[in-house]
Amino acid sequence: MDSPLMKPLLVPNNHSPGPVVAATPGEHGGAAADESSTLVDAASGTDESHRALADADVKMNDDGDVQGDELSASVQRRLDESSAVEGEDEEEEIGDDAEADDMAARMGRRLAALPGNAHESEPFTIFRVAGPMRDRNRHLYEPQMISIGPFHRGAGRHLAAMEEHKWRYLRDILARPGGATLASYARAARSMEASARRRYAEPVLLPAAEFAEMLLLDGCFLVEFFLKGQESAEDALIDASWAMQNVYNDMLLLENQLPFFVLERFYDLATGGLGRDYFVTNVLVNYLTVDMCVGPRDPESTRPPDGEIHHLLHLYYHWFLPPEDRDGSGTGSKDKEDGEALEELMSTSADERMPWQLPPASELKDSGVTFRAKKSPRSMVDVTFDRRSGALEIPAVESYTNHAIFANLLAYEQSRGRWELQRLVSYVLLMASVVDARRDVEVLQRAGVFVRGDEETAAFYAHLGELCPPPEFVNNCYADLFRDVLEYCGRSWNRHRAVLVHDYFSNPWTSMSAAAAVFLLVLTVVQTVYTVLPYYSQN
């Protein structure tokens, strides 16, 4: 049953309660009629209570409406903000997709312009020398007189004077009888532009036409320079010895190279097609064998190398270090089976498996190692060690080249690949460890390895050793030789014999004194024997 006090709460808001219609008994029965009569009486008889309840109802409804309006407005604001954010996100997503498509299209055009194919190694053969040692030795790697190639093009005023000589040499090569026209050279340069550009390990920013012009000027200069030298033609540049030496040095710098196929092409155009072998042989004989001589050379070393020639420095490296077997460089051969050798190798420590350097020559001598100048070496790095006699044979060094050529040969060898055998780096590290001081130079000079020896010789190898990578990162061709030498020095008998020779047979007087002492000792023993024998014979 509904309470009479609840009825006014059902009155609609903002409406006064109207007359209450009593229910008839027929509709709800007698109980309902009585209840309705009671409500009517209460409504009509108690005005103050009714007004109080009505006022309370209006107040509650007003407060609820205000709070509801505020809640509704807050929710609507949140919905509007959410809709706005979603709209902005949709706009941003649409904008981001468009920007991403533009970026992908731009990068796709860059990828499509790259030469070569995916997972295909680039044919880099001309590099810049990297590392902190380059910063301290720029004079060893940068041209001093003439720029060849793009790396040092227009690098300084000291190179500008030779640019005019390039144009003069181009005029001379075009005036050769039977030679090609300038248009033929230009077409050849343009056809080689893309392939030549790919040989440089750094991006070359020159446009295609300017890069081809550089190939034409620099390539024709080198070809004409070789032809003038071969013909002994009068030329102020070649006749001046200082200029000749500077040009010779600059064209053997790693950073100052042209791809060799460019020179071959221009040489064919200038000579009417004499061929690659003829060109290479004449360059070797007339230019690349005038320095760093190490004695008589095998005629086979002047033959053109097999395969592609990368550049002039590569050709010089081939002459300086002709191919040879690994065993020929002092590695030696083992008679043990591979399994036994591997087991023995892994049972030793890392330092014993791969010794990084040798003791100085004076210490090796005290340990029983003898030094000899190697007879008829195949190359400058043909160093061998005899484990039975303890003789370390090193090719005699008859003359020294300047630091620049040696430094660039080292740099080129390190650019060939990490799996290539680094013979020249190995040789420099060997000599730098053996030649540590003036007394070591004297030991090798007495052995005939050095024709002349002084403190500058030790400094020369020490400086070259600084241009090499750390020994543990070198594919050293003397690894077995190092182990054999250290094993030989570790034998006690060899050390004692060396001490005996050093202390008692180092000069004639000590040798005579030692011999006299031994003779007296023998006489004393004989006298003792003859004194004791009669006693035993009587008994």
Q: Which of 23-37, 416-430, 486-500 has the highest mean pLDDT?
A: 416-430
C-alpha 18: how far from its chain's center?
101
In the chain, what is the straight-line distance between the N-terminal and C-terminal CA atoms, in Å? 157
Distance CA 18, CA 8 (A): 10
Answer yes or no: is pLDDT of 435 > 50: yes
CB 380 within 8 A of CB 321: yes
Give tens-digit pLDDT for 4-18. Answer: 444 443 444 444 444
Give the confidence band of 407 by pLDDT, cuts at 50, 70, 90.
very high
CB 378 within 8 A of CB 299: no
Give tens-digit pLDDT for 267-297. Answer: 999 998 888 888 888 887 777 766 544 444 5
Range name among 1-15, 372-386, 419-433 with the lowest pLDDT average: 1-15
Spell out the residues 6+ positions from residue 470 whose beta carbon is closer than 8 angstroms to its own. Answer: none
Give the confidence band of 482 by pLDDT, cuts at 50, 70, 90.
very high
Distance CA 30, CA 28 (A): 7
CB 499 within 8 A of CB 439: no
Work out the percent of the chain whose per-residue pLDDT is above 70: 70
More confident residue, 186 or 365: 186
The mean per-residue pLDDT over the stretch 229-251 comes to 83
CB 262 within 8 A of CB 213: no
What integer pLDDT is reported at residue 373 of this predicted model? 92
The secondary structure of residue 20, as a DSSP letter, is: P
* Closest C-alpha to 397, from 341, 356, 327, 457: 457
Specify the amino acid at residue 272: G
What integer pLDDT is reported at residue 29 of this predicted model? 44
Give the confidence band of 36 by pLDDT, cuts at 50, 70, 90.
very low
Spell out the residues 6+ positions from residue 282 whose beta carbon is closer than 8 angstroms to its own. Answer: 226, 230
Distance CA 384, CA 387 (A): 10
DSSP 3-state assignment of 370? strand
Answer yes or no: is pLDDT of 35 > 60: no
What integer pLDDT is reported at residue 201 of this predicted model? 93
Q: Which sequence spans correspond to the domains of the chain?
A: 4-49, 132-319, 326-335+349-502, 507-538
Give the confidence band of 528 by pLDDT, cuts at 50, 70, 90.
confident
DSSP 3-state assignment of 339? helix
| Vertex 34 angle, CA 33 and 38, to 5° | 115
Q: What tokens appear for 396 in the block? A: 């005699």
Mean pLDDT of the chain: 77
Give the confidence band of 64 by pLDDT, cuts at 50, 70, 90.
low
Answer yes or no: is pLDDT of 511 > 90: no
The secondary structure of residue 326, as a DSSP letter, is: G
Answer yes or no: is pLDDT of 321 > 80: yes
Distance CA 417, CA 411 (A): 11
Answer yes or no: is pLDDT of 120 > 70: yes
What integer pLDDT is reported at residue 296 of this predicted model? 46
* Closest C-alpha to 360, from 471, 437, 463, 249: 437
* Closest C-alpha to 427, from 381, 466, 460, 373: 381
The mean per-residue pLDDT over the stretch 374-383 comes to 88
Give the confidence band of 232 by pLDDT, cuts at 50, 70, 90.
confident
pTM of the model: 0.70
The secondary structure of residue 349, as a DSSP letter, is: -
